[in-house]
Amino acid sequence: MTNITPFLMFQEANAEEAMNFYTSLFKNSEITSIVRYGPDVPGGEEGTVMLATFTLNGREFKCIDSSIRHQFDFTPSISIYVDVDTEEEIDHLYSKLAEGGMELMALGNHGFSRKFGWVNDKYGVSWQINLP
């Protein structure tokens, strides 16, 4: 085994928008590759993401725009867990990720860390943000 990589499947053709949003929030983050569906690449709407790779604070992720509408989507049962170093960082990330999304656990002291919050972002991806 050489690598284990989180993989996100977007159903609303917003993989690229989500990658741009996520890489804008985290240091040491970038979109490293995008392969798009085109006229000669069947299977998806032209211009949408067939496969992309991006990093968040150096951690690699992959994603696609699904050309098939599935009966499932993202669920909080799987989430991206982020430990931060400062109160300013947790406040910033939580507020940005919560915009247009859904708060699952309010940002605060829940007894197991100084400050913690859990949200589904506007794309449906679940994030747990923690200040240990």
CATH of the domain at 17: 3.30.720.100
2 assigned to some structural domain: no
Contact status, residue 76 vs residue 120, Cβ threshold 8 Å: yes
- CATH number of 93's domain: 3.30.720.110
- Rounded to whole angstroms, how far apart are CA atoms 47 and 36? 5
pLDDT at 109: 96
96 assigned to some structural domain: yes
Side by side, the strands of the sheet bearing 80-83 are 80-83, 126-131, 115-120, 102-108
pLDDT at 12: 86
Asked if 125 and 91 sit in the same domain, the reply is: yes
Residue 20 in 3-state DSSP?
helix
Asked if 87 and 120 sit in the same domain, the reply is: yes
pLDDT at 107 over 80: yes
Asked if 50 and 12 sit in the same domain, the reply is: yes
Asked if 48 and 94 sit in the same domain, the reply is: no
**Interval 42-77: pLDDT, tens:** 788 899 999 999 999 999 999 999 988 888 889 999
Question: 16 in the Ramachandran plot: left (φ > 0), alpha (ψ -120 to 50) or beta?
Answer: alpha
75 assigned to some structural domain: no
Q: 99: domain range?
A: 80-131
How many domains are contained in the chain?
Answer: 2
